[in-house]
């Protein structure tokens, strides 16, 4: 609850310039002066906290806000305004980078909701992948040993992993929709499902990277 009040206050505060009460989010609604920006990505874009985001809508908001906030527009303004413009533009760019990518976006929401997301160097093999990972490591060992006969097999495995990733992305989309439609009391549960899907995705994506690294090292 404290969290919510905090955000509301960050969202609407008194204008530093004209002093109007509760007048300002990015700009004061009375004097139109730029304000200290909110660090919350969804709030910044004035978007509801959903996991599914329409990329075209996001892009158009990004361009509109860029035109309003970029430091180029504040060269001849006061030092305070210049500082807010720099701060706001950096948050805008960071937020756009995160929100336009479904994975980063989901991780952002998970972090905000207090879910620890797995360490990137997580080595625990998901049980259903045990066999494939074992096979992959064997093949990579053979490749390192100079055995080029495993190349077709590695390539086939790489493609299979990519297929898995595509499938995960489709399920993520469904999970996002489920989360966004869920009543508040069921959201935590929906997020937990998103998290385990993301962990699985990260694991497989690391495998693909590992194969790619070995293959480019081989080619170099």
Partner 1 sequence: MSTFQIDFSSTQKRRIIGIDLGTTNSLAAFMDLTGPEIIPGPDGSRMVPSIVSVAADGSFVVGEPARRLLIDSPDRTVYSVKRLMGRGREDVAEELKLFPFRIAEGSEQVIRLQLGERTFTPPEVSAQILKELKRRAEQYLGEEITQAVITVPAYFNDAQRQATRDAGRIAGLEVLRLVNEPTAASLAYGLDKRREGIVAVYDLGGGTFDISILRLHEGIFEVLATNGDTHLGGDDIDNRLLAIALEDIASEWGEDLSHNGEAVQTIRQAVIRAKEELSFQPATVIDIEYRGRRYQRELRRELFENLIRDIVDRTLGPCRQALRDAGLEPEQIDEVVLVGGSTRIPMVRRAVEALFKAKPHSELNPDEVVALGAAVQAAILSGDVQDKLLLDVTPLSLGIETMGGVVSKLIHRNSTIPASATEIFTTSVDGQRNVLIHVVQGERELVKDCRSLARFDLKDIEPMPAGMARIEVRFLIDANGILNVTARDLRSGKEQSVEVKPSYGLTEEQVEAMIRESYEKAEEDLRERQVREARVEADNILAAVEKARSSDAWLDLTEEERAAIDAAINELQMVYHAGDYLLIRDRIEKLDAATRRLAETMMNTAVREALKGTKIE
- Give the interface with partner 1 as residue ranges (CB under 8 A): 63, 66-67, 70-73, 75-76, 86, 89-91, 93-94, 96-97
From the CB of 89, what's the least distance to partner 1, in Å? Answer: 5
Question: Which residue, 88 or 175, is less far from partner 1 as judged by CB?
Answer: 88
From the CB of 98, what's the least distance to partner 1, in Å? Answer: 11
Residue 124's CB: how many other CB atoms inside 10 A? 9
**Which long-range contacts (C-beta less than 8 Å, at least 24 apart) are formed by 7-11?**
7/38, 7/40, 7/43, 10/38, 10/39, 10/40, 10/43, 11/38, 11/40, 11/43
Question: Which residue, 73 or 158, is less far from partner 1 as judged by CB?
Answer: 73
Question: Which residue, 21 or 97, is less far from partner 1 as judged by CB?
Answer: 97
From the CB of 4, what's the least distance to partner 1, in Å? Answer: 21
173: Cβ contacts below 8 Å, ≥ 6 apart: 52, 102
Q: Which of 45, 47, 7 is nearest to 26 (CA)?
A: 45
CA distance 203 to 21: 50
Question: Which residue, 69 or 194, is less far from partner 1 as judged by CB?
Answer: 69
Question: Which residue, 86 or 165, is less far from partner 1 as judged by CB?
Answer: 86
- Number of alpha carbons in the 13 Å side-chain half-sphere of residue 49: 15
From the CB of 184, what's the least distance to partner 1, in Å? Answer: 29
CA distance 6 to 9: 5
Question: Which residue, 33 or 89, is less far from partner 1 as judged by CB?
Answer: 89
From the CB of 65, what's the least distance to partner 1, in Å? Answer: 11
Ranges of beta strands (E only) in 33-86 are: none
From the CB of 122, what's the least distance to partner 1, in Å? Answer: 17
């Amino acid at each position: 609850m404290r969290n919510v009040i905090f955000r509301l206050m960050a969202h609407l505060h008194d204008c530093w310039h004209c002093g109007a009460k509760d007048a300002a989010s990015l700009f004061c609604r009375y004097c139109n002066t730029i304000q200290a920006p909110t660090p919350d990505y969804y709030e910044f874009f004035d978007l509801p906290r959903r996991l599914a985001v329409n990329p075209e809508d996001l892009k158009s908001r990004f361009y509109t806000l860029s035109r309003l906030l970029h430091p180029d527009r504040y060269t001849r303004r006061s030092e305070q305004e210049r500082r807010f413009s720099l701060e706001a533009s950096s948050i805008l760019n960071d937020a756009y980078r995160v929100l336009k990518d479904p994975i980063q976006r989901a991780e952002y929401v998970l972090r905000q909701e207090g879910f620890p997301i797995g360490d990137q160097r997580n080595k625990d093999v998901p049980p259903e992948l045990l066999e494939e990972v074992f096979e992959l490591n064997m093949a990579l060992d053979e490749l390192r040993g100079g055995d080029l006969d495993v190349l077709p097999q590695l390539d086939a495995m790489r493609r299979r992993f990519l297929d898995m990733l595509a499938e995960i992305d489709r399920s993520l989309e469904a999970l996002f929709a489920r989360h966004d439609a869920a009543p508040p009391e069921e959201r935590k549960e929906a997020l937990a499902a998103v998290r385990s899907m993301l962990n699985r995705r990260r694991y497989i994506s690391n495998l693909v990277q590992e194969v790619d690294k070995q293959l480019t090292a081989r080619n170099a």
